[in-house]
Structure formats: C-alpha cells, structure tokens
Amino acid sequence: MISDKNTCLHELKDKIKEFVKEREWERYHHPKELAISMSIEIAELLEIFQWEEKECLGLLENNQQKMERIREELADVIMYALSISNQLNIDLSQAIIKKLEANKIKYPSEKVLKEGLYKKKTY
Ligand SMILES: [Mg+2]
C-alpha cells in the first residue's frame, strides 16, 4: 500500500505529470492558473473548518467524514503545488530544506522558546 513512508516526492510528481499529459492539460497549466487553483483548493480546505469551534485533535481525527474531506482537499492543494513545481522545474525537496534552514535562522528555537511561540508585531 502506498504511504508517505514508501513514496518519493518525484514519484508523485511523475504521476501528476502523466495525469496532466494524458489529458493534454499542459496548455492550461500555466503557473499562474495553477497558483489560483491551489488557492481555491486552500479555500475549500478552510471551508471545512469555517464557523466551527476548534476541536481537539483526537475528536477531529475520530470524525471520519470530516477527515475524509480534509484528506481530499489537502490532496488537491498538494497536487497543485506539485504541478507548479513540475511546470517550473523546481526541486521541491531542495526548496523545502532551503526554506526550513532560512526559517531556523529567522526563528531560532532558543529565542522562540524564551519569547513565546510567535513574535509580536510592533507597529
Ligand atoms: Mg477540492
């Protein structure tokens, strides 16, 4: 069974590339259109939580109907992200590690733990 533990990012990117090519959708998949579509899928993910009290994670995970909707919308979001990386030949693994390293510098753990989770903005 396919899972995160046994699937590489490039395999998913190849599957998405193949799906798009089989349908000749490359002509529609300009990065701008993909980013817009990704944003719409993020809105669909947010809609699941709209106007609801925050549930503790255990309750949320036990709500199978809601979890299935979350799974589907999250997959839509990630598939568009992978499509953008395909179209622009972005190595996502490199990009994620690079960004994570930048975030480590921007938010050093010692400072975050000392000053709180989020730095308060001063206007
Ligand atoms: Mg969707």
- Report if residue 44 sits inside a domain: yes
Q: What pLDDT digit, counting tens, does each position of 43-76 carry?
A: 999 999 998 888 788 888 899 999 999 999 999 9
In a domain, 2, yes or no: no
| Distance, C-alpha 103 to centroid of its chain | 17
Nearest to 87 by CA among 35, 23, 9: 35
Residue type, 60: L
Segments in 1-63 forming alpha helices (H): 9-22, 31-49, 57-62
Exposed, middle or buried: residue 78 (CB in 10 Å: 0-12, 13-18, 19+)?
Answer: middle
Which tokens is 79 given? 């598939």
Count of structural domains, the chain: 1
- 120 part of a folded domain: no
Q: How far is the CA of 71 from the centre of ligand 1 (A)?
A: 10
Measured in Å, residue 54 CA sits from the centre of ligand 1 at: 22
Output the CA 66–ligand 1 centroid distance in Å.
13
Residue 121 inside a domain? The answer is: no
Centroid of ligand 1 to alpha carbon of 77 (angstroms): 8
Q: Is residue 32 part of a domain?
A: yes
Per-residue pLDDT tens for 89-108?
Answer: 999 999 999 999 999 999 99
| 44 CA from centroid of ligand 1 (Å) | 6
Any idea what the CATH number is for the domain that residue 79 is in?
1.10.287.1080
Average pLDDT, the chain: 93
Per the domain annotation, does 122 fall within a domain? no
Residue span of the structural domain in which 31 resides: 7-115
Contact 63, 98 (CB under 8 A): no
